[in-house]
Chains A and B, each alone.
Chain A
Amino acid sequence: MTVAAQTAGQGPRAAARRLAGALHRRPRLRLALLLAAPLLWLAVLYLGSLSVLFVSAFWTTDSFTSQVVKVWSADNFHALFTTPVYRQVIGRSIGVALAVTALCVVIAFPVAFYTARVARPRWRPLLVVAILTPLWASYLVKVYAWRLILSQGGLADWMLKPLGLSGPGFGLPAAVLTLTYLWLPYMILPVHTALAQLPDNLLDASADLGARPGRTFGSVVVPMVLPSVAAGSIFTFSLSLGDYITVQIVGGKTQLIGNLVYSNIELDLPMAAALGTVPVVVIVLYLLAMRRTGALSSI
């Protein structure tokens, strides 16, 4: 057999080799084939459903027949901005998301500082696992656990009793507290990683130049960890903004955007769609704001 015949060859292996060679020579084709499936997924299932949501927000519902009328109108968005209840609920939802994020930062920083820099190095992986374990439990189980903790005569009441206080009961504070608990690992983890990767010699250099520990913390540690805090806040903020189950279980009568969407789905689908657009827009704005801190490159 000649060399040419060997390389050209026949059978499936030779065909595979020819295909590999052809792809090697056409990097654009290779890229297109690689990206086709995920792009299709993104375009059709995600962006597609989002645009259907957005389009249907411009339709209206016939109040007698409860049928969707496919006539263009901006009434729903108009109602969003003018109806006091909607404005209140939107403001409350953003407030809850911000409060949860702020609480997560305040709690996560010392925890991450301990797990990344104070604890003995061989304990650190175990501590990280310990922080992650709540994520293995079901969301509902955790929220119901908090319902038990916060219920009248529950753990919170019992523990605060000696101080002459009682627990927060069910309501907005309870929802914020529970959401903080739920999303805390998403904040601790990036902050832990950033602190663990902080080079020791930067801290040495700061001290060497005359900075006391507090100064080093403020001028070196915090600015260098900030992008990761912002990255974590993207999780805590968007997860809180989209939540409607926790608030149903521990929030008492409190309503967030998610609850309004949920209750409108049966009655007025276009209004639900308009309400659903709000968190999407808010999160896009939040992402744009966070991009300036360099957070997106540290996710």
Chain B
Amino acid sequence: MEGTAIRLQGLRKSFGQTAAVAGVDLEIRDGEFFSMLGPSGSGKTTVLRLIAGFETPSGGSVELAGRDVTRLAPFERDVHTVFQDYALFPHMTVEQNVAYGLKVRRVPKAERLVRARRALAEVRLEGYGRRRPSELSGGQRQRVALARALVGRPRVLLLDEPLGALDLKLREQMQIELKAIQREVGITFVFVTHDQEEALTMSDRIAVFHQGRIEQVGAPAEIYERPETEFVASFVGTSNLLRAESAQRILGSPGTYSVRPEKIRVLKESALADEPDVATATGTVAEVVYLGDATRFLVDLDAGGRLTALQQNLETSAEDVAAYRGTRVRLTWHRRHAVRVPDAR
């Protein structure tokens, strides 16, 4: 599992006047499930296309397994891509689609068929080989695209928002399957998504993209629990920031702090919370949102600013929840859950 699968150095890409990728340095390890997370237009897909070779960089370099491939065409790179809209060849059957990469590489026909069938079995599509892509559902097409990219056993598999077009249930199911397949085949996966939950649940490590740059790279827990920039704190998870003035009054030091909503407890204003390690703030409930398994409280703080708190509905139910609106509450959280976010660069 040791070794570097991909190394990007000073990677830049401009389209006309706009810089889609503005200097990216990144190392992705062998066998890793690596996610590139960011809003649309943050440059994550462009980085993926630069790795695949569909675009040539305006500056910097791309290394695959220690070899500089910056100037190589896509067909000279040991990388395969799963496209956002699958890009299956409509004039070929499922089996022909999957075997295409092998055929191009002059793998003998018998072996081609065996490997294509095995790849289809890996994505649980046995017996679908003779159909046309147009005869499949979205989820099935997605898996054909996956099989087609996996069958050649590339060193790296690039996935460009492959679950974006699926409905919620199917997406959750595919997240689990994708992760299982990755563990089985042991190939490095580079997964582009704008869905932070998807990135958090599937990845070994995540890079958060913002305006063509990487804001933070780390394991999901690191990204979520210890965001290093204000953007990461607000993009990953619910934006919940205490700023200078109110931070000073509540936590006793100025600066920007991030507190995750589920770390905050909502108590009656009169409740005492005098433990040394607990921060406390009073305020008025501005809005209550019943989510089924939990309730979200939006609280306007007396010290200024607004915090969101998430409470599991252990005993409360929908009727009780509505009564909270407009009431006075006390929010408490453990001090170590207020994470100092460095000021913007």
Contacts and interface: CB of A to CB of B under 8 A. Distances in A.
Do A and B actually bind? yes
A205 interface: yes
Interface stretch (B75-83, B172-180, B325-333): B75-83
Interface stretch (B84-92, B134-142, B206-214, B239-247): B84-92
B81 to A, nearest CB: 5
B73 interface: yes
B89 A202 contact: yes
Contacts of A8: none
A224 interface: yes
Given A201-B87, A223-B91, A208 B100 contact: no
A159 interface: no
B52 interface: yes
B152 A209 contact: yes
A205 B81 contact: yes
Contact of A205 (B79, B87, B91): B87
Contact of A209 (B54, B80, B91): B80
B105 interface: yes
A199 B86 CA distance: 11
B104 A205 contact: no
Nearest to B79: A208
A220 B101 CA distance: 13
Contacts of A206: 89, 100, 104
A204 B100 contact: no
A207 B88 CA distance: 13
A253 interface: no
Interface SS, A side: helix
A199 B83 CA distance: 12
A23 B90 CA distance: 41
Nearest to A294: B91
Contacts, number: 59
B74 interface: yes
Given A206-B100, A219-B100, A211 B75 contact: yes
Given A215-B104, A219-B100, A207 B87 contact: no
Contacts of B143: none
A208 B80 contact: yes
Contact of A208 (B81, B89, B91): B81
Contacts of B81: 204-205, 208
A11 interface: no
A207 B91 contact: no
A209 B101 contact: yes
A212 B91 CA distance: 19
Interface in A172-217: 199, 201-202, 204-212, 215
A199 B105 CA distance: 23
B148 A209 contact: yes
Contacts of A199: 87
A82 B333 CA distance: 103
Interface string B85-118: 1011111000000001100110000000000000
Given A208-B52, A209-B80, A224 B101 contact: no
A60 B79 CA distance: 74
A224 B104 CA distance: 18
B41 to A, nearest CB: 19
A205 B89 CA distance: 9
Contact of A224 (B80, B83, B87, B91): B91
A209 B104 contact: yes
A205 B101 CA distance: 10
Contacts of B152: 209-210
A223 B101 CA distance: 17
Centre residue among A205, A207, A224 by max chain B CB count within 10 A: A205
A207 B74 contact: yes
A224 B90 contact: yes
Nearest to B101: A209
B83 A204 contact: yes
B101 A204 contact: no
Contacts of B54: 204, 207-208
B87 A210 contact: no
Interface in B186-232: none
Contacts of A224: 89-91
B75 A212 contact: yes
Contacts of B148: 209
B101 A210 contact: yes
A208 B85 contact: no
B150 to A, nearest CB: 11
A215 B52 CA distance: 18
For B80, B101, B104, B105, the residue with the greatest tally of chain A CB atoms inside 10 Å of its CB is B104
Nearest to A204: B54
13 contacts: A201-B85, A205-B88, A206-B89, A207-B75, A208-B54, A208-B74, A208-B75, A209-B75, A209-B100, A210-B105, A210-B152, A219-B104, A224-B89
Given A199-B87, A224-B91, 5 more contacts: A201-B83, A204-B54, A204-B87, A207-B75, A209-B101
Interface of B: 52-54, 73-75, 79-81, 83, 85, 87-91, 100-101, 104-105, 148-149, 152
Q: Nearest 8 A-B pairs (CB), nearest first?
A: A209-B101, A205-B87, A207-B74, A201-B87, A211-B104, A210-B104, A223-B91, A208-B81
